[in-house]
Amino acid sequence: MRFVTGQLPVRLRASIAAATAYRQGRRPPAGGFKLSSNENPYSPLPGVVEAIREAAAYNRYPDATAAALRGPLAARFGVEADGVQVGAGSVAVLAQLIQAASGAGDEVVYPWRSFEAYPGLVTVSGARGVAVPLDSDGRHDLSAMAKAVTGRTRVVIVCSPNNPTGPAVRRAEFDRFLAAIPQDLLVVLDEAYHEFVTDPDAVDGRHLVAGHPNLVIARTFSKAYGLAALRIGYAIGHPAIIRAAQAAAIPLSVTAQAQAGALASLDREDELMERVARIVGRRDRMWHDLVDQGWQLPEAQGNFVWFPTGSSTEAAADVFFDAGLAVRPFSGDGIRVSVGEAESVDVVLRAAKRVLGAQDHGRLADPATQA
């Protein structure tokens, strides 16, 4: 049977039918480096792998409450267990929070450009997204975000460090932001890359959530802990908000293997953070060397670097690909390059130098811009 492309056989929500599905990062060429998805280049520690294997009772459902994991997380953040929600990645928790707070006729404010999934999550909820542009340094314009809040706003998302541009929101500016918005407005602080932050003035949701009942922080085991394939993240917040998020969750979506891997990773955190320190060292070296080449880059506080390549983004991404690097282009804006294996750093630097030289001599342009 052949279906007619583009023809809907049933009645669907027009906004969903017209939406674009989330797009994963590009695969690398043979023998190259995949730097398109902000993945941790290190495999899980042997003890973590063993814990995952021991949880492999495939014929049994996982604990839907993730109680064994929520307890240690609650202790870490100084909250009760009912202030912790565990989901299939932090993006799942974000979806639950948005759906719990907003629907048709409501608004969700978020920075842009930021995490690519935000607009889609808002569309699925039925709400309208209000995208507030970043400033010229790739940072949140929190003053503009506060001004974008209306009587219809139900959620505001703040991403620190911001994916894909890199800067972290600073504590002082975040305090001013929280004071400027209604206290019954849900604020979600997306801290998926928190463990890579070295800026001493950066916001840390752990120190704020107890004093702000409208604040929920979201974190993940995908990045620093290297469990991206297991899909596990969590949120910390007021128990009433967490209960609403749980009501919006798909039941039994966090596997027993993911829970076991997360628990084992917490037990081995010191060793894992040594790996994070190595990644941060590569990031900082790469960032400084790129600045020395002549690039004007925003501050990098995640496990990635942002190239503001503008209209030449797609052509620049092809230069990286030809060098053996899969990177993440955002058409018309720039390119995000993850910090990967140690051997990839010099390859990135050489490719970036070629891109910069081609830009300086007017030899780099997207085909769509050429007459």
- pLDDT average, residue stretch 187-206: 98
Tell me the per-residue pLDDT of 136-191, one tens digit each, with 9 for 90 and over.
999 999 999 999 999 999 999 999 999 999 999 999 999 999 999 999 999 999 99
- Compute the distance between CA of residue 307 and CA of residue 61 in angstroms, rounded to an integer: 44
Tell me the per-residue pLDDT of 202-222, one tens digit each, with 9 for 90 and over.
999 999 999 999 999 999 999
Half-sphere exposure of 97 (CA within 13 A, CB side): 34
Please give the single-letter amino acid code of residue 192: A
Tell me the per-residue pLDDT of 275-314, one tens digit each, with 9 for 90 and over.
999 999 999 999 999 999 999 999 999 999 999 999 999 9
Note the pLDDT of residue 26. Answer: 77
Tell me the torsion sign for CA atoms 215, 77, 66, 260.
positive
What pTM did the predictor assign? 0.95
